[in-house]
Every structure is written in structure tokens, then in C-alpha cells.
């Protein structure tokens, strides 16, 4: 289970049950309650009670079998993961419900939220503060007077893109209009571009939703980029289609944000990465040094021929450059 999901759920009992199910799925054999109790730092009785509860809520095609002398085993007829149980506990998370609704501009006071969620006001505030601490790298925070997510517009958008992308693995999230989705698929097919269409849909939704509520990318935001002609034409076609469908004209800053988002989620072929390396490596000594350091670590672990080493160097530089761009433009993390 991802750390971010655990921070959304917060309920220690729910997190423990998810961990139990993941242990059973990953093991593929019998595990004793004593072993799980030791791993999860709880009592044997707690594990037994948690498994009894799991049996009542897991997917009907899954069955937890218990044998007194062996422990517990999960019977499955096809590959499974813990997404069903994570989805169940996400739907019960107060933080999850609040974030979905404040994105939709349902802005209530903390007291009103505590009434809607049947939760003590101080307890709810404590949960929100805990989650706020966990998302400091996004440079966003909560306004507690009328509960809102606040920060630079760039950071707020990037947080929501990340949030919706992570939860989309476990539950239905925002999606594009089917007609617009078909248009985008045709554009991608025409230019022969492979991209994560789910993530692209989330980026478009967040962009349009924020603009609709008059939340704009600041004028000082700039993203300098060099795109090959076919990629530029592809992005430009997407922008034109979005503008036509929503009957809007995106400002240069909004287009730059969309291009930055697209660039971060898109892949490049090896020739593009070689060109990118030659163009940027001399002027970005920090990224270059980090790339070479990582390459040396890999080379010590695995014997590489010269061609493979060169290819990995270009791959690493491209990835590191994206991380550096994120750190510089949006997030606050150590590079």
C-alpha cells in the first residue's frame, strides 16, 4: 500500500487489515497469526479478529481459509491485489471525502464538516493537521475557517493531479466526456503517441475545473521547452480540441502549464533522449553529476557493456531532469 493512501485513510485498524490482506496475497501460502502479529506489532488476538472482519468485506471471489495447525491462506482463482479492500476503506475516509468535495467547491466550515461526517470537531481538525503535515512537499495547506486547500495555484493543481491519479487506482475518479475522449484518442492515434490517457484526462479535468472557478496559473509562471515538431503538433492539436470543446481560450500561462504537465508524463524515444542530453547536460551540472554518480553505482552492481552504459546514461539524465524540473517549479524535496 502506498504511503499516501495510508495517510488518507489514517485509521490504524483499517491500515493493519490492508497489510494483513497484502501479506496473504503476496505469500501464496499459509501464514500463522503469530507471524503476522510480530510483523505488524500487535497481538495474536487482534490478527484473528481482523481476519474475521476481512472475511465479511473482501471480494466474493476471494476466500480466506484457516487451518489451525498452519494458519491462514487466501484462495484465489485469478491474480488479485488489495485494491478492493483499499477502495472500501478509502470510501470511509473523512480526508478522502473532504478533498473530493472541496475540489468541487463545496466549502463548509470545520463545524459543518464535523456534523456531516459525524465526527468530533477537534478530532477532525487533528486528522486534517496530520494530513497537512504529510503533504508539505506540495506547498499547500488547509484554511480552517472555511475549509479550503490553499497555496500557489500551480501547487494546488499539481496536488490535485497527484491525488486523483493515486486514488484512480482504487476507485472511480474524474473522467472526460466520452466525445472529447474519442477526439483525443484519434489525435493520439494520428500522431502515433503513447501516453497515459487516464493521467491526461485528470490533468485536463483539473485544468478546466480550476479555470471555470476563476483560479488561474500566475503570470510569472514560465516553462521553457524544446519540442520536436511532431510532438509540438500533437500537443497543439490537443490544446485546440480542448479549447473547442469547452469553448474557451487558454492563456499562454495555462498552455505552458499544460505543456509542462504533458512533458512530465510523456515518454521519449532513445534518439530524443540523446538529443536532450546533448542539449542540456553542459548547462545543468547538478543533474549531470547526479546522473554520472547513479551510473557508477549501477556499474558497480552490474557489468555493463559500453553501449548499454551510454543508453542508461541518457535514460537517467532524462528522468533526473524531470525530477529537477519538479523540484524547481513545484515541489520542495531534496534532489
Residue ranges covered by each domain of the chain: 3-88, 93-151, 178-265, 271-329
d(CA 6, CA 12): 9
How do strand 71-75 and strand 148-150 relate by DSSP bridges?
unpaired
Instruction: Classify domain 3-88 by CATH number.
Output: 1.10.10.10
Supply the pTM of this predicted model.
0.84
| 149 phi, psi to nearest 5 deg | -95, 120
d(CA 6, CA 25): 18
d(CA 266, CA 259): 10
d(CA 31, CA 72): 5
Do the domains spanning 3-88 and 93-151 agree at the CATH topology level?
yes
Q: Contact, 280 vs 324, CB < 8 A?
A: no
d(CA 37, CA 47): 6
Taking Cα atoms as reference points, which of 3, 264, 328, 18 lies closest to residue 135? 3
Instruction: Classify domain 93-151 by CATH number.
Output: 1.10.10
Q: Taking phi first (over 0 means left), then psi (-120 to 50 degrees means alpha), and beta for anything else, what does residue 103 get? A: alpha
Q: Contact, 209 vs 103, CB < 8 A?
A: yes
Question: Which residues fall within 8 angstroms of residue 80, CB to CB, at 6 or more apart?
Answer: 25, 59, 61, 62
Please state, in angstroms and as integers, the Cα–Cα distance from residue 326 to each residue in 9, 29, 96, 111, 332, following that order. 26, 42, 25, 36, 8
d(CA 245, CA 248): 8
C-alpha cell at 122: 477537534
d(CA 137, CA 206): 19
Please state, in angstroms and as integers, the Cα–Cα distance from residue 92 to each residue in 20, 30, 80, 87, following that order. 19, 30, 22, 9
Question: Which residues fall within 8 angstroms of residue 72, CB to CB, at 6 or more apart?
Answer: 24, 30, 31, 32, 33, 36, 51, 64, 65, 66
Reading the chain (335 residues) residue by residue, the pLDDT tens digits are 788 999 999 999 999 999 998 998 888 789 999 999 999 999 999 999 999 998 888 776 677 888 888 888 888 766 677 788 898 899 999 999 999 999 999 989 999 999 999 999 999 999 999 999 988 888 899 999 899 999 989 889 989 999 999 999 888 777 788 999 999 999 988 988 878 888 899 999 999 999 999 998 887 777 766 677 888 899 999 999 999 999 999 998 899 888 888 888 877 778 878 887 887 787 788 888 888 888 888 888 888 788 888 888 888 888 888 877 777 666 543 33
C-alpha cell at 300: 558497480
d(CA 304, CA 155): 40
Amino acid at each position: 500500500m502506498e504511503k499516501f493512501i495510508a495517510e488518507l485513510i489514517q485509521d490504524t485498524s483499517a491500515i493493519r487489515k490492508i497489510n494483513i490482506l497484502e501479506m496473504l496475497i503476496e505469500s501464496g501460502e499459509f501464514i500463522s497469526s503469530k507471524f503476522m502479529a510480530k510483523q505488524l506489532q500487535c497481538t495474536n488476538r487482534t490478527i484473528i479478529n481482523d481476519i474475521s472482519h476481512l472475511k465479511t468485506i473482501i471480494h466474493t471471489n476471494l476466500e480466506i481459509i484457516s487451518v489451525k495447525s498452519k494458519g491462514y491462506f487466501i484462495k484465489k482463482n485469478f491474480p488479485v491485489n488489495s485494491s478492493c479492500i483499499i477502495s472500501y476503506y478509502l470510501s470511509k475516509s473523512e480526508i478522502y471525502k473532504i478533498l473530493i468535495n472541496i475540489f468541487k467547491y463545496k466549502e463548509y466550515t470545520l463545524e459543518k464538516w464535523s456534523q456531516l461526517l459525524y465526527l468530533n470537531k477537534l478530532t477532525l481538525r487533528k486528522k486534517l493537521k496530520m494530513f497537512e503535515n504529510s503533504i508539505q512537499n506540495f506547498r499547500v495547506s488547509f484554511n480552517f475557517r472555511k475549509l479550503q486547500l490553499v497555496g500557489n495555484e500551480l501547487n494546488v493543481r499539481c496536488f490535485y493531479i497527484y491525488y486523483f491519479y493515486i486514488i484512480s487506482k482504487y476507485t472511480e475518479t474524474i473522467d472526460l466526456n466520452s466525445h472529447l475522449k474519442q477526439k483525443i484518442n484519434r489525435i493520439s492515434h494520428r500522431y502515433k503517441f503513447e501516453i497515459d490517457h487516464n493521467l491526461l484526462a485528470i490533468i485536463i479535468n483539473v485544468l478546466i475545473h480550476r479555470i471555470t472557478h476563476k483560479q488561474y496559473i500566475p503570470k510569472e509562471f514560465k516553462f521553457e521547452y524544446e519540442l520536436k515538431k511532431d510532438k509540438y503538433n500533437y500537443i497543439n492539436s490537443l490544446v485546440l480540441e480542448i479549447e473547442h470543446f469547452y469553448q474557451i481560450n487558454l492563456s499562454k500561462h495555462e498552455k505552458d502549464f499544460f505543456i509542462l504537465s504533458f512533458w512530465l508524463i510523456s515518454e521519449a524515444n532513445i534518439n530524443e533522449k540523446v538529443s536532450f542530453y546533448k542539449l542540456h547536460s553542459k548547462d545543468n551540472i547538478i543533474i549531470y553529476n547526479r546522473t554520472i554518480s547513479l551510473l557508477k553505482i549501477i556499474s558497480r552492481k552490474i557489468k555493463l557493456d559500453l553501449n548499454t552504459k551510454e543508453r542508461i546514461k541518457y535514460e537517467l539524465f532524462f528522468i533526473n531532469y524531470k525530477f529537477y524540473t519538479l523540484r524547481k517549479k513545484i515541489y520542495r524535496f531534496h534532489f
